[in-house]
């Protein structure tokens, strides 16, 4: 058995040496070398082909891995940049809103209190916003609430740290108003559908047209004069009725209100000029 | 068994010429045929290692374009010698296997150099040791350590979760 082992080793070594010898010796070796080449060239060719194939597969795999890793990294970067862009846009919009609010606050000839919206009620029965200012901040019932676009509503409930603001569109809300151009007086009421209408407009108050701006009349002691309420979109003429009314689109987009000013003081003169469309 | 040896021979040759070059570190690549021959020697004994080493070496020589028979002889001899060790010294422990592979690589390199000297190989031994044999031996040792760690981790995982 042991002899068999060593004879295998010796045979293998001798074969190797023979191969080496026939390659390097010059005597009759060309033929021997040719024989070696003849036997090994097909194997070499095959190996080269397989090697090239394997190499190309390996390279393709490596490339694919690199591309995949790059793709994942680009995806992550894209996602991060998108979030950053959204955050920047959000901050930009907030800055713009706050700047408009601050400008209005500076111009207004009455004391105000800034607040943030922390809750919304949008059902048909009641339409309100909750502001993060309450009794502790000096908020009182019936306080008018505005934004740079116009009137939002009035405070109807005051709690310790928050207040509920009834929106103009609430069905129980009424505000004394006038048509800015014709000074036609009336009442702005909320509708269950979420719209506004300008009521009790006497028939002889004609001349009101679509596009007219309705502002607070300032006749009561509640709202200062001249705060934009809405704009006329249509006149509903009931024919024989004594009064007819105008359909309004609110000056304020209540769904987008995020910061408000609560008017803690009163002003006797018209503030309409302070409410420009760009704040 | 014969098929697995054949696959090992051709797979090892292909891997050495395709995958291994991409593992080069500062121009040094591991010697996969030698590692395969050594592993085979430990598992299957001197005859199988001698034959597979011879075949692997022959194919390496043929693919490399050098003198055909040099690696065939050295790998056959190395595989045979390695195959005789398990009965004589304790080679089951990684602390023996890894340095053993490093020494084996150096020994095979010296053997190859000696054989090539018979055919007037021009390079100096010092240069070869510094730039080829020792770096490759260290790389082989590193690769063997990684392989043994992976095997150990797989065994541990299997013990922990037997269904794997």
pLDDT for res A28: 45
Q: Which residues pair with A247 in a beta bridge?
A: A197, A234
Please give, one letter per residue, the 3-state secondary structure of B121-154.
Answer: CCCCHHHHHHHHHHHHHHHHHHHHHHHHHHHHHH
Query: Which of B7, B10, B15, B18 would you mutate first to test chain A, the one with the most A CBs within 10 A?
Result: B18
Parallel, antiparallel or unpaired: strands A196-202 and A243-250: antiparallel
In this prediction the pTM is 0.48
Residue ranges of chain B with per-residue pLDDT less than 50: none
Please tell me which residue of chain B has the smallest CA distance to A14.
Answer: B73
Distance CA B46, CA B42 (A): 8
Picking from A9, A23, A48, the nearest residue to B50 by CB comes out as A9
Please tell me which residue of chain B has the smallest CA distance to A58.
Answer: B19
Of A154, A149, A153, A120, the C-alpha closest to A139 is A154
CB contact under 8 A, A54 and B19: yes
Distance CA A214, CA A181 (A): 9
CB contact under 8 A, B72 and A18: no
Picking from A12, A24, A55, the nearest residue to B119 by CB comes out as A24
- Mean pLDDT over residues A166-193, rounded? 88
pLDDT for res B155: 80
pLDDT for res A85: 95
pLDDT for res A26: 58
CA distance B60 to chain A (A): 10
Confidence of residue A208 (pLDDT cuts 50, 70, 90): confident
pLDDT in tens, A20-31: 887 776 544 445
CB contact under 8 A, B68 and A23: yes
Query: A277 pLDDT exceeds 50?
Result: yes
Cα A3 to Cα A9, A198, B55, distances in angstroms: 10, 118, 21
Is the ipTM here above 0.90?
A: no
| Residue A157, SS3 per DSSP | strand
pLDDT for res A256: 85
CB contact under 8 A, B80 and A9: yes
pLDDT for res A74: 96
Confidence of residue A44 (pLDDT cuts 50, 70, 90): low
pLDDT for res A29: 43
pLDDT for res B63: 65
Q: Which residues pair with A151 in a beta bridge?
A: A146
pLDDT in tens, A137-174: 999 999 999 999 999 999 998 888 889 899 998 888 89
Average pLDDT, chain A: 83
* CB contact set of A2 (below 8 Å; sequence gap of 6+): none
| Residue A100, SS3 per DSSP | helix
- Mean pLDDT over residues A115-134, rounded? 82
pLDDT for res A76: 95
Q: What token pair was written down for A177?
A: 């108003």
pLDDT for res A222: 85
Query: Which of A20, A23, A51 would you mutate first to test chain B, the one with the most B CBs within 10 A?
Result: A20
């Amino acid at each position: 058995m042991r002899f068999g082992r060593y004879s295998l080793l010796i045979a293998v070594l001798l074969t190797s040496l023979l191969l080496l010898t026939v390659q390097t010796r010059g005597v009759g070796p060309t033929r021997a070398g040719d024989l070696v080449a003849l036997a090994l060239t097909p194997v070499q060719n095959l190996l080269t082909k397989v090697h090239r194939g394997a190499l190309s597969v390996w390279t393709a795999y490596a490339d694919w891995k690199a591309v995949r890793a790059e793709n994942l990294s680009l995806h992550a970067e894209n996602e991060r940049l998108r979030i950053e862009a959204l955050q920047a846009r959000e901050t930009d919009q907030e800055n713009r809103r706050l700047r408009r609010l601050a400008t209005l606050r500076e111009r207004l000839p009455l004391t105000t209190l800034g607040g943030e919206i922390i809750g919304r009620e949008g059902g048909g029965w009641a339409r309100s916003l909750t502001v993060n200012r309450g009794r502790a901040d000096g908020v009182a019932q019936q306080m008018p609430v505005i934004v740079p676009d116009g009137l939002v509503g009035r405070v109807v409930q005051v709690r310790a740290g928050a207040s509920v603001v009834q929106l103009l569109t609430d069905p129980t809300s009424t505000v004394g108003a006038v048509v800015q151009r014709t000074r036609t007086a009336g009442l702005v009421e909320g509708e269950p559908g979420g719209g506004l209408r300008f009521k009790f407009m006497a028939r002889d108050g004609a001349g009101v047209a679509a596009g007219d701006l309705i502002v607070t009349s300032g006749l009561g002691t509640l709202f200062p004069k001249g705060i934009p309420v809405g704009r006329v979109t249509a006149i509903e003429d009931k024919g024989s009725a004594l009064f007819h009314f105008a359909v309004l689109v609110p000056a304020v987009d209540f769904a987008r209100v995020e910061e408000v000013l609560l008017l803690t003081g009163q002003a006797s003169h018209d503030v309409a000029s302070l409410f420009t469309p760009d704040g | 068994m014969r098929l697995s040896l054949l696959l090992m021979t051709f797979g090892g040759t292909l891997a050495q010429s395709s995958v291994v070059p991409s593992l080069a570190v500062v121009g040094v690549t591991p010697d996969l045929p030698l590692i395969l021959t050594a592993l085979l020697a430990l598992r299957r004994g001197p005859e199988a290692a001698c034959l597979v080493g011879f075949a692997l070496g022959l194919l390496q020589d043929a693919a490399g374009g050098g003198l055909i028979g040099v690696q065939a002889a050295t790998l056959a001899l190395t595989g045979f010698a390695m195959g005789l060790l398990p009965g004589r010294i304790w080679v089951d422990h990684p602390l023996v296997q890894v340095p053993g592979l490093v020494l084996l690589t150096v020994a095979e390199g010296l053997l190859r150099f000696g054989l090539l000297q018979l055919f007037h190989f021009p390079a100096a031994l010092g240069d070869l040791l510094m730039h080829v044999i020792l770096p490759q031996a260290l790389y082989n040792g590193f690769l063997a350590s990684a392989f043994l760690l992976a095997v150990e981790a797989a065994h541990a995982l299997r013990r922990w979760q037997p269904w794997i």
